[in-house]
Amino acid sequence: MTEVQEIEKSAIELPRHKQVVIIGGGVIGCSVAYHLTKLGWQDVVLLERNQLTAGTTWHAAGLVEANGFFDETSIEMAKYTRELYQTLEAETGQSTGYKPVGYLEFATSASRLEGLRRIAEFNRGFDVQVEEISPSEIKRMLPLARTDDILAGFFCAEDGRVNPIDATMALAKGARMGGVQIFEEVEVTGVQQNNGRVTGVVTKLGEIEAEYVINCAGMWARQIGQMAGVNVPLHAVEHYYLITEPIEGVTPDYPVISDLDRYAYYREETGGLLLGLFEPIAAPWGMNGIPKDFSFGEIRPDWDRMMPYIEEAMKRFPVMQHAGIHKLFCGPESFTPDMAPLMGEAPELKNFFVAAGFNSLGILLGGGVGRVIAHWIVNGLPDVDVSEINIARMLPFQNNPKYLRDRTVEVLGMMFKEQFPNRQYDTARHVRRSIFHERLAEAGAYFGAYAGWEYPDWFAPKGVEPRVEYAWGRQNWFEYSEAEHRAAREGVVLMDYSVMGKILVQGRDAEKALNRICANNIAVPIGRIVYTQWLNELGTIEADLTVTRLSEDQYLILTGDGTRTAVLAWLQRNIPSEAHVFVTDINSAYSVLNIQGPKSRHLLSRVTNADLTNEAFPYLTTQEIDIGYAPVRALRVTYVGELGWELYIPTEFSLHVFDTLVAAGQEDGLVYAGLQALDSLRLEKFYRDFGNDVDNMDNPLEAGLGFFVDFDKPGGFIGREALLQVKQTGILKYRMVQFLLEDPEPLLHYGETIYKDGKRAGYIRSGGYGHTLGGSVGLGFVENQEGVTRDYIDSGGFEIDIAGDRYPARASLRPLYDPQLERVRC
């Protein structure tokens, strides 16, 4: 810093109190500031360590694309951003440099073509106008491009490019016009808190008290998080582009192009071509923390590493091979372990929000991110599905630097890889392994990863290598998983269920406190299992789990491990501080085996003294039983729709119980089953999967879970009044429906459009193959302004679009498999 700057800086007088402090003046911080003013919040200050855009924003390539996402929230955020960049100038007088030159993606293989067709159809459902165009049309549009290997292109005329600095400046100007104070050259050096709530920030120029602090510090956000005791799992990775000298025929209206199979994107820049790369394995950066003084910085490029990718990418535009290189640029960008941003209130600290980790999409999502975060802060809840972006989905171990470094280098490349169903990361694996892992590996398990756990996805028969061959059609494990499915329906299966998150809630007030949080009534006799949702004040779903009463003052909460952080935070925030309640995360204390199928009683009866008859051990109850020499907490419950028990086994007894069950199971033909079989079984039974089929925007009545809501219990529950209003309207315009394709061949995965009498009516939230029902099964919400009644559903006319082809489907509001629960209650 120069002497003049030092003097100017010491002259800065910071406010002592503000309602909101935003840390970071990149596109995200400025967008959040701008959007807070739109919602009427003006008492906001933004602090930037250097100058606005000095972090990552200044050097972004500025690609803007609404097409290309495969989830509703990202599409909404990208679409909104695209519109905002076109209207900000009229409002602020500052241009964003937005040019709707169009965005074109190439498919050069049959599977890529199918994938892009699926994504394009999904996007059309949200009014993103994507056209499939032929290679000859591409040739006409891009005479300089080689097109002989292209099968088709997907063109979105409204997409284009923006100038990231100008867009940020326009947002900053709009924010200032709305009353926000912006200070440059002010570094936040500490975050203050009291009693679990953020209270302000520390700078060299003094402290600012605040009710809310928003961490928009880009790749520094992890370090800011550490100041606050908040996990912000992201890591910087090198991202490259080069710019050629001017090329004849490359004009300013050249479309943006993604050549996904060459990991490359292209756009015009000062008469030449800008070529950016998403190579399969990138290089990590900033392993010892991001330098504090890295401003408008560049990284020294590693030409040797990048050359093979550059050469390959230049083959698309052979003219590049002879054009001079004007610049080879390498800059850092933050990536997250699962390629989705980290947004929302930190589970560790009340009123401390994060908006970081944009995986090279911060410019094109920036407007929408600001809108969503501002809404979330001002209204207390988000107004979009946040299942995939909520920072609360992350577990503490994911902030481990080695894990982040190893994983994020693969995430960069994943941006352009084919998003096959069931796609797994290869890096940072074997982080969490259940105690049964080696036994299951020996039995032929193919492992997927969920929340760091290695879980068996399916089992290869003897002599077959457990390796997946990705495809949109039937993958190589289809038949193996079918055999597991059939064993669950006809015999008995064993599943490793250790990925379940386990939480103990104890204390004199446990019943009262939990009953206020649960929509169902958990004031039940000891030993009962209650399936319930947790709702927010709007009556929409925050969690979907079971609560089991272990004793007068003890409850066991079971939830997916990926939602454990969010569930713990919800408990923390909604149990009154004066209540006599203690919440303990007991995740590692137990491993879990799931024994399911009509022969499960016969198998278990031979290894326990407990009476497992229906009378002695009814459905939705629990008992502590012995298995072999071990004490085991057995829950009679099912997620597959058969007779079965989940066994919670103290860790040190786990292998003994496993071996005991496997030995006894020989007589019953016990089969190992993986999560693919589980998914197929639960889809047939119309069991919802929170975060996939149902999310924070859905209420239990629309989701078909009204049966599990007790409106009349004493004391009510959070969200009751809002939900009651929905109920009293007497009509549901939006409702979850189960579908079965009539044609047994095509496969449903996710995102396929539902048509009713030729009109778009919704999309499939999750799909899989129902081996018992004999076709693909999908769950999706259907919308109809006159009401989604049984008559409406029974009148038929449903079709589901898969990559451009429509297939007739049977629709139902009740499970197509065992609607009377006869198989479960026997």
Ligand X SMILES: Cc1cc2nc3c(=O)[nH]c(=O)nc-3n(C[C@H](O)[C@H](O)[C@H](O)COP(=O)(O)OP(=O)(O)OC[C@H]3O[C@@H](n4cnc5c(N)ncnc54)[C@H](O)[C@@H]3O)c2cc1C
The contact set with ligand X (CB under 6 A) reads 23-29, 47-50, 54-57, 59-63, 187-188, 216-220, 224, 239, 241, 331, 333, 356, 358, 360-364
Q: What is the DSSP letter of 407?
A: H
Q: Which is nearer to ligand X, 287 or 586 (CB)?
A: 287
Sign of CA dihedral 396, 401, 407, 413: positive
Choose among 356, 346, 122: nearest CA to 236.
356
Q: What is the dihedral of CA 471, 475, 476, 480, to 10 degrees?
A: 170
645 has which bridge partners? 595, 636
CA–CA gap between residue 37 and residue 28 (Å, rounded): 14
8-state DSSP, 19: E
Residues 805, 811, 816, CA angle at the centre, nearest 5°?
120
Query: Considering only CA atoms, which of 176, 206, 174, 221 is closest in space to residue 352?
Result: 221
Query: In sequence order, which residues have a C-beta less than 8 Å from that of residue 127 and are 6 or more positions away?
Result: 79
DSSP 759-803: EEEEEEEEEEEETTTTEEEEEEEEE-TT---HHHHHT--EEEEET
Distance CA 510, CA 110 (A): 56
Q: Residue 201 carries which side chain, given as an amino acid letter?
A: V
Report helix, strand or coil for 21.
strand
3-state secondary structure of 818: coil
Question: In Å, how far are 48, 436, 478, 563 from 496, measured between CA atoms?
Answer: 49, 7, 20, 18
| Pairing of β 352-356 and β 206-215 | parallel
Contact 600, 577 (CB under 8 A): no
797 bridge partner residues = none
The rounded distance, in Å, linking the Cα atoms of 333 and 339 is: 12
Q: List phi, psi (to 5°) of 95.
A: -70, 150
69-82 exposure pattern, b = at least 16 Cβ within 10 A, e = fewer: bebbbbbbbbbbbb
CA distance linking residue 95 with residue 168, whole number of Å: 10
